[in-house]
Structure 1
Amino acid sequence: MGDQFKPKPSVWRATAPLQSMRQQYQHNGQINSTSNATALVAGRKRAYDAYSSHNPNQTGAATQGRAPPPPPLRPTSVNSKAADEPPRLVASRIEYADGSVVREQPSEYSQRQVFAATPSTVDPLLSLSHPAYGLPTQFVANFAALGIKAIYPWQKQCLRGPGLLNGDRNLVYSAPTGGGKSLVADVLMLKRVLEDRDAKAILVLPYVALVQEKVRWLRNIVSGISRAELEQNEQDEKPGFWAPRADKDTIRVVGFFGGSKIRATWADFDIAVCTMEKANSLVNTAIEDCSISALRAVVLDECHMIDDGYRGYLLELMGTKLLCLGQPVQIIGMSATLTNIELLKNWLQGHSYETHYRPVPIEEHLVYDGKVYAATTTASLLKTVTQLESKSQFSQPRLQPLRIIQSSDTKEFKDPVRNAVVALANETARAGYGVLVFSNSRAGCESDAVLISRVLPTLEEADPFIQEKRLDLLSDLRSLSTGLDPKLEQTLPFGAGLTTEERDLVAKAYDDGALKVCVATCSLAAGINLPARRVILHGARMGRDLVGPAMLRQMRGRAGRKGKDEVGETYLCCRQADLEAVVDLMHSELPEISSCLISDKRRIQRALLEVIAIRLAVTRESLDDYVSKTMLAYSAEPQSIQDHVEASIADLQNMRFIDIDDDGDFQATLLGKAVVASSLDPEDGIFIHNELKKALQAFVLDGDMHVLYNFTPVHDLDGVTVNWKVFWYEMQHLDASGHRVMHFLGLKPFIVDKMLSGGILKESTDKEKEDARRYHRFYLALQLRDLCNEKPIHQVAEKYDMPRGSVQNLAQTCEGFAAGMIKFCETMGWGAMAAALDHFSDRLKAGARSDLLALAKITFVKSRTARIFWDNGLKTVAAVANADPKELLPVLMQAQPNKVKLGAKDEQKFKDKLLAKAKIIADSANRLWQAEMQLEMEEE
């Protein structure tokens, strides 16, 4: 009969101490969560038949009605007693409509099983090694090593579109999530980079997490590809071809995003992977200094975001500038949620391609009142809602559900929606599949995660392989500079509430199969790339509002990935009050995209100011030509566009951003150039200019608050929730320097007292809006002050009632904004101010006081770790460089914030990991020390 009928190992979860759970609940019973999502641990797959129909939590193979004894208890890093654990819960049974219990059929599936990422084929053009694609052998081998041994027919058709492979035409295309759309862009972009040793490419992504992931992917793709070898082949064919430079042999992939620790320039990369803001700034700089001539390809991923007025419009600004260059730059736009693709095709003057192919089919379901209905077509959805709500005795027979989720007498599962979410997640994890649950809030995430953990099998029933993986993960998390957060240890949170390092570790564990369940906020759907057999939506709201069709499609598109699942499943669990709206949402068409440049005057103002400042267009005729190449020109009335351009030019002159010279040409003023250099909107630039001008007159330098205030962003402050109780407390404990800064900024203590008593911060007039902006910025500056004074991220998050990941994101955002402020001051000629800001920028990156800045340059030595090195006498880079790694081990042990009991074997593994880290630290310190000595010798 084969191994498929053998009993499968059990699943496992992280046990949560009751005391820790009680601490989650604070004011009015609300959960004080530190994460936007939670991943739970589960083990290998086994058939669902292994569980008794009377007790779905019973584990082990069904052997004459009895389960086998659990494996011996292994040492664990979860430091809790059985008496402190919350009581076990039983998930509701899921039955077929005829009353039989749902049972998974035996399968060879395992989330860790490796499948080819693309199907085998006999069509020679479905192989990237075919001469038609002209790709290096190593390039094809790298794709094969990552599981891509052949391409899909739609990818072949798209790549072989007119003028694409040779770079003569631009391309915009649409393919479903998981359909392999990134490969097309990767191939075209890398072909352009390999055609010329000086060629460069830019890939634009909306989120930092996606940028970091793509950098890792591309570095694997270009690994081992040498331009010298490629040029040698050309030299053999072309006698006299010049010899290659050794420092340009490799293809360099660099990430550009806010908070990036690498200050890379245009000369430091061959492929730049950027956020929208960084890409636009990079293009501006390259056009201004004429280095843009090396650019050969630009990829705009998620290009449906072009009509996002907050950030996405930067894609239109950048794309239009590229169209005006008059040089061969291939623009490649792609998305999974494009409708009016013809508009983008006409704007980019290129080729378009659409496919609905998806290698893994998705089965969609609607869950209502504990019943699961098929939701495969619009007709069935409409039929579902009308028949469910029909009360007439003469109506058609009610639509029969596919399955029924039994109601529960347990108080935690009285809510039928939560009961359904937990039951479906439990069923999936027990069968050994990956499941992704989307909740509508951070509190909802943690609540769902805790309840799911309480129905999964216990630690004692863990599979040894998964235990090993789990202990390795906990060890890695402990060794991070932020330590292992107690709540992370409790349920292994995953998502926007985590720090970047934690997210990477947990995502890898989930992708490897060590973790099985992730609970995330809806907003995280576009920023993750995790496979899931089943996607469960706990409602269809983001906060109070329904998600849009594009967001819903992105969440559902996470189900089923080639190489991971044979099929994908989605379950949207909704309430009675939302039923009609949810059904409408599920079958609604995606909205058409359009330009948003004139929906807010600041956008068209910024567009015109940028092209004038970088001297891409300085006459009225060239400005009109630029505007004619925008997407706006293809989607709005010419007269309306003309009126907005006229008004914007007048506004820019009134704000003193541009002047007209003696020849009648437009030119940017010093202030206008500073605004563009710092990537600010014009109105934000006015505010910053006024703030910095006042600071020049009375800059408070006997403390940190004034500098840090100037590091806090001026945009998107509506999303900053001020805890006025914390604000008031911190205000009371400010030193004299901090109070002078408040007075200088016009922040009044009685206003804070009023807000503490339930007052409202008025924002009716321009002055009131500016005042409110200052209160918000000062509140963020208080958090930055704590970070710069070496307080760990989790302590700052707890103090200000924010997710830890949000605190880290704040620090990274402020690092990017600080860089913009430094550029602003340098452009304005305020050298002393720029120098002061630059010094504090280093402190913000290090998360440490000035005395630790040198140590903080060492790999893995940041903030708290640097302070412990200092306290142990390792006060210089030279001292660390000359220390034996074994001498560093006890120091690193002191730097671990959480002391969790481990068994002897696991404690030794943990020490071995720290010793390996100590060796890396010593090597990094040696390199820095040698560089310092070399610099001293050159200065002598």
Structure 2
Amino acid sequence: MANNVNSNTTRLRIWHTTTLESAAQVHQQPQPQQQQTYQTTVVAGRKRTVNESLFSAASDQQDEANKKRPTHSRQGQELPRFTASIIAQADDTRQSHGLSEYSQRRAFPSTPTSTVDPLLSLSHHRYDLPRLLVANFAALGIKTIYPWQKKCLLGPGLLEGEKNLVYSAPTGGGKSLVADVLMLKRVLDDRDAKAILVLPYVALVQEKVRWLRNVVAGISREDLGQRQHPEEQKLWARRADKDTIRVVGFFGGSKIKATWADFDIAVCTIEKANSLVNAAIDDCSVSKLKAVVLDECHMIDDGYRGYLLELVATKLLCLDQQVQIVAMSATLTNINLLRDWLRGHSYETHYRPVPIEEHLVYDGKIYPSGTTASLLKTLTQLDSRTQPAAHRASVPVLQHLRSISPSEHKEFKDPVLNAVVSLANETARAGYGVLVFSSSRAGCESDAVLISRVLPSFHEADPIVQEKRLDLLGDLRSLSTGIDPKLEQTVPVGVAFHHAGLTTEERDLVANAYDAGVLKVIVATCSLAAGINLPARRVILHNARMGRDLVGPSMLRQMRGRAGRKGKDEVGETYLCCRQNDLEAVVDLMHADLPQISSCLISDKRRIRRALFEVVAIRLANSRESLDDYVSKTMLSLSAEPTSVQQNVEESLIELRDMGFITIDQFSNFEATQLGKAIVASSLDPEDGIFIHNELKSALKAFVLDGEMHVLYTFTPVHDLGGVAISWRIFWNEMEQLDESGLRVMTFLGLKPVIVNKMLHGGTLRETTPEEKETSRRYHRFYLALQLRDLCNEVPVHRVALKYGTPRGTVQTLAQTCQGFAAGMIKFCESMGWGAMAAALDHFSDRLKAGARSDLLALAKITFVKSRTARIFWDNGFKTVAAVANADPKELLPVLMQAQPNKVRLEARDEQKYTDKLLAKAKVIADSANRIWRMCFAPLLSCCFWRLVLLSLTLWQRSRCDRIWKRSDS
């Protein structure tokens, strides 16, 4: 018994051993005992057995997949554990660098507080913020601001909204707070004010919506009178009301239509922001817009979609009213160009509350790379190996800080992979978070599996952590897609991966668990660096590539900036691991300056053409003078030759006229045609608009309405097909199963079975001419429409992904993208006067959102009741919203039990906990159904009530008249 206790104590000590202690043990223990192995222990009486909980497959298909994967555990037995390589201090760096726990215990000068400088408190009267707003910031951890934030906010005319602002601050330096304060002041200073916050990615939009809703929670227009000065309180008291601050997110797959009147703060993707501004200018409601925030504004020179930021800002600069534009980025170099363009104030800081120590890992050795001198010395020393001995002797040598011993496992023979696993293992065992960036989705999953096999097993974790990880596994299993088999293997030891192949729900669960400390290691693709906020003590780059290409300096800085976030870490560390072939390029990348941004409107004629097209369509410019004024306010006018700009403007106007988008009269006045207005209203590029117009105009002559394939084909995007390659084998199989209606759609579109058969046997679909490109686009769209057909007929996302051989997240993204595109198609048809087609598309749009057939559309509006769950409710007799609304939550519990996929057997204690979770979910469902029922039926009941009142009055009046006549007769 004593031996067991000692063994457990030793095991726990290994788990909590710091890097300092580990490094000291390297020199104290004999060599054969340096590497520890971890034996698994069967713990009786735990909440679930290993067979049932940790290593059960999510479905029959996953069981088959597990048999083919030698890295997965089978039949409840854990895979062999690996031992990570020892990371030792270099002997001759002990005195100069010390045996520090990779700098985690250093004391850094603290940031001044509001006791030293009162202006560092947001409650200071100079900022003039409501007390409840300041309290909300404090509840979210923002009790004081940094000195640079104070200086930036107090810039000339910024708090009053009189000037625009462009500023740059490092990732993690608190730049978002400055924009939040300025934006909220504009909204709170005017009861009717609107604000738009523009972000590049959907994940960032969703995260920011949650944050802002917490910031403005409980604040009503009545609270705006709670000011610091009595005279201001009187002013606000005269216009106080009970209105709340409404924060709404707008993005491609969102179910909320971009309605200008339904929000106070709109958090948008770039495309949605451009659409909102166009609509507001067109219907003259833009006078309510008081602030626009452009986050990640360095993307303005991204020709694919970032150029829309320039269009948005230029339109606002052309308005007669004052709209405060706030542009920010962590990677701006030529900030003066943006300042001059926006005619505002600029501010730049390099302050970071949590310092970062940067390292280069090469050939099993860790080198400092924080300064230019270190980088150059490192490169000189490493390149000197190829020089003659006499030359090498004269080269100054930069001593490495630490070294990573080679691994005895064949899986870790690659020194780069061995370094990644060892560094992640060291940090996770010390109890800190690790973020590993990999170049591909497959690389993410492979790294996560290998890292999980060197960390302590599930049974060696703290019991509280075990409980939380089991809960996370349960939440992942309860998703409609089931659990990914590799996540099921890695999550019990605190490791997960995060990439676009996972569904939104899976990514949210993984991100929240990591943020809460349940997971210690996240392996992600490079796109995560700018996509979501996941801080880490240590950031490890498994090479500096995104796919096959090296990342740029801006992306590298974004990835490294994830290390050491305020409130979680005292310091951050980054490790860039590289191979010999990439060494010179990687060192140049680490040493490279950030690229200077410039306008990209002129780099592709289509962009300047769209810029001119939109301002004419929304009637912001209708003459040559107003058009020239618009062009003079673009960033292009500051960075290009005037002659070249004018030539492109002339050519673009002629092309727009020839394409039938605008008309030009004899007085050089411009007006958009009906087709032009429809294209701008649906947020299409002019070239895509021509293709869509031709497709829909042909469809009007013979639209196939006895099936669903033609409508679903119309919903597939034309500009962004999701990078999904056609599997011609699957295409052929699905084509053979089409009914007569689907085959007629193929014939109508010009898609030929003989071509599909040719492609199946190795043919090539040529795309050299415009006609061939359009034909290729039709085949691609129809292939995606086949996937939409399955989704609309209640086939789960994971089964569609399995059927078409694509990741689940890709299928889900396709559905969300098509929802946004469908809304544009409906708007296009309405603008063209094709009401019947718009109504047909609108019906199928609802089906696409619900992922269900027509009979479930009403049920699918209820929170948590989508697709498969809605069908189970229907089958159990809850066929209407009223039936769900009138049901007791306990009546819904058995239905939800049926809807949970792959529910594992639980012990009594955990069965109750599981039931409580479902009961809470049932209450949310019942409340949601009640709200929907009231919204739908309250007007009807009100109408019936007033009809009864009118009928009663009529009968009373008639009775009174009868009595009067009787008296007169008598």
Cα deviation, 1:892-922, whole Å, max 9, x if unaligned, reads: 1111112234333223211110111011111
Distance 1:489 1:238, change over 3 A: closer
Task: Quote the residue 2:88 is aligned against.
Answer: 95
1:635-677 CA-to-partner distances (Å, cap 9, x unmatched) read 0000000010000000000000001247542100000000000
Partner Cα distance (1:894, 1:177) in 2: 46
Distance 1:346 1:666 in 2: 29
Farther off after superposition, 479-488 or 498-507: 479-488
Distance in 2, Cα, partners of 1:348 & 1:202: 17
Map of 1:330 onto structure 2: 324
More displaced 10-residue stretch of structure 1: 86-95 or 486-495? 486-495
Q: Secondary structure at the match of 2:498?
A: coil
Question: Which AA in structure 1 matches 2:323?
Answer: V
Q: Is the 8 A contact 1:11 1:461 kept in 2?
A: no
**Equivalent residue number for residue 265 of structure 1:** 259
5 Å-filtered alignment, 1:477-626, equals 477-491=476-490, 492-626=496-630
Does 2:952 correspond to 1:937?
Answer: no
Which residue of 2 is the match for residue 905 of structure 1? 909
Contact 2:222–2:237, Cα closer than 8 Å, also in 1:
no
Query: What is residue 762 of structure 1 aligned with on the other side?
Result: 766
Counterpart of 1:729 (choices 711, 725, 733) is: 733
Aligned to 1:406: 405
CA distance in 1, matches of 2:870, 2:101: 53
Aligned partner of residue 577 in structure 1, secondary structure: coil
Match of 1:802 in 2: 806
Distance 2:770 2:925 in 1: 51
State the Cα distance separating 1:45 from its structure 2 match.
7.9
In the alignment, the residues of structure 2 paired with residue 75 and residue 258 of structure 1 have an alpha-carbon distance, to the nearest angstrom, of 42
Number of positions where the alignment pairs a residue of Structure 1 with one of Structure 2: 894
Matches of 1:596 and 1:750 in 2, distance apart? 43
Question: How far did residue 409 of structure 1 move?
Answer: 2.8
What pairs up with 1:196-211 in 2 under 5 angstroms? 196-211=190-205
Counterpart residue number, 2:895? 891
Residue 321 of structure 1 corresponds to 315
Seq. identity, %: 74
Distance in 2, matches of 1:309 and 1:7, equals 59
Amino acid at match of 1:743: T
Equivalent of 2:143, from 140, 146, 149? 149
Summarize the Cα distance change of 1:227–1:320 in structure 2 as closer, same or farther, 3 Å threshold: same
C-alpha separation in 1, matches of 2:532 and 2:88: 32
What is the CA-CA distance between 1:815 and the residue it aligns to? 0.5
Amino acid at match of 1:525: A
Alignment-mate amino acid for residue 382 of structure 2: L
Q: 1:84 to 1:252 in 2, by over 3 A?
A: same
Indicate the residue corresponding to 2:466 in structure 1. 467
1:828 pairs with 2:832 = yes
Task: Provide the residue aligned with 1:75 in structure 2.
Answer: 47
Q: Is the 8 A contact 2:476 2:483 kept in 1?
A: yes
Give the secondary-structure state (helix, strand or coil) at the position aligned to 1:576: coil
Conserved? CA contact 2:253–2:817, under 8 Å: yes
Cα drift, residue 475 of structure 1? 2.9
**Structure 1 contact 117–147 (Cα < 8 Å) conserved:** no
Equivalent residue number for residue 364 of structure 1: 358
Equivalent residue letter for 1:183:
L
Q: CA deviation at 1:879?
A: 1.8
SS at match of 2:91: coil
Q: Distance in 2 between matches of 1:791 and 1:8?
A: 51
1:915 aligns with 2:931: no
Paired with 2:807 and 2:552, the residues of 1 have a C-alpha distance of 25
Q: Could you tell me whether the CA contact under 8 Å between 1:78 and 1:900 is conserved in 2? A: no
Q: Could you tell me whether the CA contact under 8 Å between 2:829 and 2:838 is conserved in 1?
A: yes
Q: Read off the aligned partner of 1:225 and give its amino acid letter.
A: I
CA offsets 1:7-56 (integer angstroms, 9 cap, x no match): 899599xxxxxxxxxxxxxxxxxxxxxxxxxxxxxx97866637975567
How far the C-alpha of 1:939 sits from its partner, in A, is 6.2
Contact 1:202–1:271 (Cα < 8 Å) also in 2: yes
1:321 to 1:235, Cα distance in 2 relative to 1, 3 A:
farther
Partners of 1:718 and 1:757 in 2: CA distance = 25
Partners of 1:766 and 1:777 lie apart in 2 by 16
Q: Which amino acid aligns with 1:531?
A: P
Secondary structure of the structure 2 residue equivalent to 1:520? strand
The C-alpha deviation readout for 1:722-775, integer Å capped at 9, x for no partner, is 222222222222222222111111122222223223333211111111111112
Q: Does 1:285 align with 2:273?
A: no
- The amino acid that maps onto 2:47 is P
* Counterpart in the other structure of 2:130: 136
Distance in structure 2 (CA, Å) of the matches to 1:906 and 1:232: 48
Cα distance between partner residues in 2 of 1:448 and 1:871: 43
Instruction: Name which of 789, 794, 797 aligns with 1:790.
Output: 794
Per the alignment, residue 661 of structure 2 pairs with 657
Please give the alpha-carbon distance, in whole angstroms, between the structure 1 residues aligned to 2:98 and 2:902: 42
After superposing the two structures, state which structure 1 stretch, 888-897 or 344-353, moved more. 888-897
Which protein shows a greater Rg?
Answer: 2
Tell me if 1:667 matches 2:701: no
- Structure 1 residues 785 and 245, CA, compared in 2 at 3 Å: closer, same or farther? farther
- After superposition, the C-alpha distances for 1:72-98 in whole angstroms (9 at most, x for unaligned) are 673343145676432211111111222
**Which residue of 186, 191, 210 corresponds with 2:185?**
191
Once the two structures are superposed, residues 847-887 of structure 1 have per-residue CA deviations (whole angstroms, 9 ceiling, x without a partner) of: 11111101101110000100111111211112212222112
Match of 1:18 in 2: none
Aligned residue for 1:573, secondary structure, equals: strand
Aligned-partner Cα distance in 2 for 1:252–1:917: 25
Preserved CA contact (<8 Å) 2:225 2:234: no
Pick the aligned partner of 1:685 from 675, 684, 689: 689
Give the Cα separation in 2 of the matches to 1:426 and 1:742: 55
Give the Cα separation in 2 of the matches to 1:478 and 1:914: 14
Query: Residue 292 of structure 2: which of 298, 301, 307 is its match?
Result: 298
Residue 445 of structure 2 is matched in structure 1 by 446
CA positional deviation for 1:472:
2.4
| Structure 2 counterpart SS, 1:710 | helix
1:802 Cα deviation after fit? 2.0
Greater CA drift, 622-631 or 76-85: 76-85
Partner of 1:29: none
- Partner of residue 78 from structure 2, selected from 70, 78, 85: 85
SS in structure 1 at match of 2:249: strand
Contact 1:118 1:147 in 2 (8 A): no
SS at match of 1:719: coil
**AA of the residue aligned to 2:199:** L
Give unmatched runs, 5+ long, in structure 2.
1-7, 27-31, 57-73, 491-495, 945-970
Change over 3 Å in CA distance of 1:718–1:885 after alignment to 2: closer
The 1:436/1:262 distance shift into structure 2, 3 A limit, reads same
Structure holding more helix per residue? 2
Displacement of 1:68: 13
RMSD: 2.8
Where does residue 63 of structure 1 map in the other structure?
none
Distance 2:160 2:791 in 1: 50
Contact 1:44 1:463 in 2 (8 A): no
Describe the SS at the equivalent of 1:859: coil
1:467 to partner: Cα distance: 1.2
Q: CA 1:710–1:231 in structure 2 vs 1: closer, same or farther (change >3 Å)?
A: same
Q: Tell me the distance in 2 between the aligned counterparts of 1:55 and 1:299.
A: 58
Contact between 1:45 and 1:109, CA under 8 Å: does it hold in 2? no
Tell me the residue number matched to 2:816.
812
Amino acid of the structure 1 residue aligned with 2:893: L
1:387/1:399 contact within 8 Å kept: yes
**Map of 1:676 onto structure 2:** 680
Aligned partner of residue 758 in structure 2, secondary structure: helix
Cα 1:786/1:46, change in 2 over 3 Å: farther
How far is 1:99 from its partner? 9.6
Between 913-922 and 901-910, the greater mean CA deviation after superposition: 901-910
Q: CA deviation at 1:580?
A: 0.7
CA contact (8 A) 1:8 1:45 kept: no
